[in-house]
Structure 1
Amino acid sequence: MKQLALSMLRTPSRVAGAGVGVRSLATKAGGTTKLFINGEFVESQASEWIDVRNPATQEVVTRVPRSTQKELDEAAHSAELAFKSWRRTSILTRQRKMLDLQHAIRGNMDRLAHSIVAEQGKVLGDARGDVLRGLQVVESMAGITEYLLGHKLEVSADMDTYTVREPLGVVAGICPFNFPAMIPLWMFPVALATGNTCLLKPSERDPGAAMMLAELCRDVGIPDGVLNVVHGSHETVDFLTGDPRVRAVSFVGGDKAGKHIYERATSHGKRCQANLGAKNHAVVLADADRDHAINAIVGAAFGAAGQRCMALSVAVFVGEAGDWIPEIVERARRLRVDGGLEEGADLGPMISPQALQRASELIQSAADEGATVLLDGRGVQVPKYPNGNFLGPTVIDGATSAMQCYQQEIFGPVLTCVRVASLDEALALVNSNRYGNGASVFTQSGSSARRFQSEVEAGQVGINVPIPVPLPMFSFTGNKGSFLGDTNFYGRAGVSFYTQLKTVTSHWRRQAGVAEGAAVHMPTHT
């Protein structure tokens, strides 16, 4: 089993609807996704399975097991045993593994991307971007030697105090469907580089990319048990958040699941970082570069079929900037909705019929509550894929903050437009929203931009940038209702999350053997 070829992780077949003879992680109907425990790909003994369907065709790509209690225990035990040796592995060795892993991922980027297209539905270019943004985190972990530097100070004669960062132990990552490669790569490379071992649960909707990443970890020599991959739904989540062997939990996903995971993990004494929902705003001032602002809004609102936690879902037009909305509609109308591997496709299907139905109902609610649906993507026809979960770009005008289309995260290719009279009004609107992932302003005024960045209550701010997600030398810094926890993902914050500080005070006397009386008062180190 150690020599299992990458293409044998699951039975290979042509990607449904690809139009080309691509071999990928997709399976024939009835194929199964394995567990990855102690360096082995293991066929689950589960009695219940979850169908993974290609969102463009409804073809069953694979079946994912609801891991048994025994399998979860074996994975946790493997991680616990591996931690004893992995934590003592030199930092240079761990750094070398990150360098090898980034090279392996880069060499398999297209295969990872094709898996994402088949299971998640993204267009191929966006799927490659999914892999690339995760790869950047791995590359940043090649600098783990810098991240783990401590501090040292001679605090008294012959006495030094210094700090070291030590790993926690076994940690868990619980991933969403919308970034099958990037989000796992936010988690386990940081955990492993800092000396932890990891239990990873990919989304049961699209686990293929995570399984390929596990294989690549094994190929580059990351030891058995350091990374384990388990599957399932609520029962698996409850195991990871409750088992005493797990010291910390990372989660990205929706509000309901995130709040449950955070509350359960912290009630069991674990660290937890949880990225939740979002409602990201772009404030457009009339002095903005019109063409740049319109293109940026269209790309950020409709890319990935709007299934991004940083999707730009609300555009706030100040004054005369509202006159640009018809042009946004026309550019959005020209976007091509199609299968992810079709040439020229701009956005693919939504993840499931249920997601499509929910987004469609929120569009209807906007019309019912008095907004105007200027561009309605419901019922879009994609002839080659009649069974796909397709929703075309949709633009809603005249929305208010009281409407459902504004209050709820639609998580689809829907742009809600709000008109206000001033920057004051725009800031008040953004700041009254319960979410705080990101907000952007489009302007050519330095003073307006400076005021916006200073006063807006969002963790990630863009100035003429529609999706201001920072690169991994920084950290993902959503706040307010978009985040639960004290320490954010990747970068220095991520390293802090997966490590604990230890201070050491040492006293090496220059005049050994000189008799001193015992001191019973509080030491002052003077």
Structure 2
Amino acid sequence: MERLEIKNFINGKWGGPEENNDPLYNPSTGEKIGSVPISCLKTADEATTAAARAYETWSLMPIAKRIAYLYKIHACMTRDLEKLAWGIAYDQAKQIGEARGEVQRVIEIVESACSATVTMQGECLDLISGNINVKVVRQSLGVFAGVAPFNFPALVFGWFIPYAIVAGNTFVFKPSTQSPYFMQMMCDIFQEIGLPPGVVNVIHGHREIAETWYEDPRIAGVCLVGSTPTAKKMAAGCARGAKRSMLLGGAKNMLVVMEDADMDVFIDNYLNSCFGSAGQRCLAGSIVAIVPEIYEQVLERMIAASKTVRVGDALDPDVYMGPLISRKAADSVINYVDIALKYGHGCKLALDGRHPELPEKNKNGYFVGPTIIRDITPCNPIFTTEVFGPLVAVIKIANMDDALDLIRKSEFGNGACIFTQSQFYAEKFSRMADVGMVGVNVGICAPHPYVPFGGIKGSLLGTNKVQGKNGLEFFTQNKVTTIRTVDPKAQSAGATKPQTVRSCVAS
């Protein structure tokens, strides 16, 4: 197996060894494949210093030249798509086909960020009062810092860095120590295209790194994709330091199956939603809510389809679902099965995936197969807790209004999907579902790069959603200039007369 020696990337150069390192494992086999530096606070400060210095010149670079660097990143990622996908499948263990899809989506996001010459355009209002005009421009803010989770090492890079740097900001990025290899390969690309030193800095470590950002006056804003408890802690830190924040938290997404649903469409989408990425994504379907008329029929189809899901090595193209990220994560999912069944109230284990059949080379990997618990009640812990694995809770609902009420009461508000052929159901659900993203006859309601991605309630803390125009607005600030023009050849009108009313705006 290839050994990975992960390094920091600061001011355009690879960092030296740190005093402490974490081991890096291949989740498909459980084998150690390398190490990740756990950076000290001094190293963290060096990264911020490099970004602050780079901002002085990068922010003044014409936007067309900044976009030209994005085009180069786009070209290199397109060329290296297979290599980048292999890297994700190797250390993060996302099934290779899904890893390719993640990289392709990031390529599309970079392409979207290249439209900044249009999306960053300001406004001008002529003759607001006499010979006074006003203009509004969008400008960069400074250094941004971001933290990525393990499950989408490429996508989260795409959500933050292209939009930040095309707007004229610089960046300090902390990947997950469990899936750092993608960003190491991206730093190779930064060096290849000659991205000016300090524009993007990548530093590895634990949460102490982020804690240095809140009070640092050089940091303009902080970004996160992670759990809701982590997002809340970072929101508090950003509030203390008066930082902008874009913090995406956890989720508990429901798939609602109505009596008129197309069963083939639902089953195909159910498999991808619940078991794609081994259930380790913020838009994974983890609750399936079914109306009584078709409850047993749908459950039977779900169980039969789930048994066809092949579990195994993430680099095997014939595998549908790879492992979880760690032994701890796999044990957590198994523990939640026990918790749900112990809680009782009539729920039953409809499909047990706790001991999937595996090839010999994967016996020590971190696997849990598709698992279904039926007849769940809303007070069961797995109905309210983000399990982050291939564990599906099935609940019987009276009707669509019942489902909407359950969604409304949830702590989270990331996504929800409905399967129906009724336009009335579709329109009402999309309007009334108390979430940030809705799907109709799709199992993953992730929008394309040109529109915002993000939830509400406990699923999004901060000021903005990611990607598209909404994401770019987070990395820029409005500046308003009021301009009075005076003809230098005009004769003075003399002293102004006293005014009984004085305007609070320019006039």
Pick the TM interval, shorter chain. Answer: over 0.9
Whether 1:369 aligns to 2:343 is yes
Q: How does 1:217-228 map to 2 (within 5 A)?
A: 217-228=190-201
Other structure's SS at 2:153 match: coil
Specify the alignment match of 2:171 in structure 1: 198
Does the aligned pair in 1 maintain the 2:269–2:443 contact within 8 Å? yes
Residue 248 of structure 1 aligns to which amino acid in structure 2? G
Q: Equivalents in 1 of 2:184, 2:376: separation in Å?
A: 42
Report the AA paired with residue 457 of structure 1: D
Question: What secondary structure is seen at the aligned counterpart in 1 of 2:34?
Answer: strand
| One-letter amino acid matched to 1:112 | L
Q: For residues 70-85 of structure 1, what are the structure 2 equivalents within 5 Å?
A: 70-85=42-57
| Conservation of the 8 A alpha-carbon contact between 2:95 and 2:317 | no
Question: Shift of the alpha carbon at 1:471?
Answer: 1.1
Any conservation in 2 of the 1:51–1:64 contact (CA below 8 Å)? yes
Deviations 1:412-463 (A, max 9, x none): 0111111112111111111111110000111000011111111110000011
What residue identity is the alignment partner of 2:503?
M
Check conservation: 1:460, 1:469, Cα contact below 8 A.
yes
Distance (Å, rounded) in 2 between the aligned partners of 1:167 and 1:262: 22
Question: Contact between 1:158 and 1:510, CA under 8 Å: does it hold in 2?
Answer: no
SS in 1 for 2:5: coil
Aligned counterpart, 2:503 = 522
Q: How many Å separate the matches in 1 of 2:489 and 2:328? A: 75
Equivalent residue letter for 1:374: A
Measured in 2, the distance between the counterparts of 1:302 and 1:494 equals 28
Q: Residue in 2 aligned with 1:491?
A: 468
Given that 2:288 and 2:394 are in contact with CA atoms closer than 8 Å, whether structure 1 keeps it comes out as: yes
Q: Does residue 473 of structure 2 align to residue 500 of structure 1? A: no
Amino acid at match of 1:369: Y
**Number of aligned residue pairs:** 498
Output the TM-score relative to the length of structure 2: 0.96
State the match for 2:404 in structure 1.
427
Matched to 1:163, the amino acid is V
| Inter-partner Cα distance in structure 2 for 1:429 and 1:259 | 23
Match of residue 339 from structure 1: 313
Deviations 1:148-190 (A, max 9, x none): 0101011123321011111110000100000011111111111
Deviations 1:346-391 (A, max 9, x none): 0001000111111101111222222111111101131231100000
The alpha-carbon deviation at position 243 of structure 1 amounts to 2.4
- The CA distance in 1 between the partners of 2:384 and 2:194, in whole Å, is 47
Quote the offset at 1:214 in angstroms. Answer: 2.0
- In the alignment, is residue 444 of structure 1 matched against residue 444 of structure 2? no
Aligned-pair distance for 1:523? Answer: 5.6
Q: CA deviation at 1:525?
A: 5.4
Is 1:381–2:392 an aligned residue pair? Answer: no
Which residue number in structure 1 is paired with residue 281 of structure 2?
Answer: 308
**Would the aligned equivalents of 2:84 and 2:185 in 1 still touch at CA under 8 Å?**
yes
C-alpha offsets along residues 323-361 of structure 1, whole Å, 9 cap, x if unaligned? 211111110111100001113100001000111111101
Question: Which of 82, 86, 91 matches 1:119?
Answer: 91
Deviations 1:214-254 (A, max 9, x none): 22123222211100001100211212334221110000011
SS at match of 2:255: strand
Which structure 2 residue ranges, 5 or more long, are not aligned?
A: none
For 1:162-241, what aligned pairs fall within 5 Å after superposition?
162-241=135-214
Residues 360, 378 of structure 1: 8 Å contact kept: yes
Gaps spanning 5+ residues in structure 1: where? Answer: 1-15, 17-25
- Counterparts of 1:72 and 1:169 in 2: how far apart (Å)? 17
CA distance in 2, matches of 1:398, 1:512: 85
Cα gap change, 1:287/1:87 in structure 2, threshold over 3 Å: closer, same or farther?
same
- Paired residue secondary structure (1:351): coil
Counterpart secondary structure, 1:240 = coil
Alignment-mate amino acid for residue 186 of structure 2 = L
Asked if the contact 2:71/2:114 (under 8 Å) is kept, the reply is yes
The answer on whether the counterparts of 2:131 and 2:486 sit within 8 Å (CA) in structure 1 is yes
Q: 2: distance between equivalents of 1:294 and 1:319?
A: 18
Match of 2:439 in 1: 462
Asked if 2 retains the 8 angstrom alpha-carbon contact of 1:53 and 1:61, the reply is yes
Q: How does 1:120-135 map to 2 (within 5 A)?
A: 120-135=92-107
TM superposition shift of 1:477: 2.6
Deviation at 1:511, TM superposition (A): 5.5
Cα distance in 2 between the residues matched to 1:106 and 1:266? 39
Q: Tell whether the 8 Å contact from 1:285 to 1:319 is kept in structure 2 after alignment.
A: no
Q: Measure, in 2, the Cα distance between the counterparts of 1:89 and 1:126.
A: 36
> 2:97·2:317 contact (CA, 8 Å) conserved in 1?
no
| 1:413 and 2:376 aligned | no
3-state SS of 1:61 partner:
strand
Percentage of identical aligned residues: 34
Counterpart in 2 of 1:156? 129
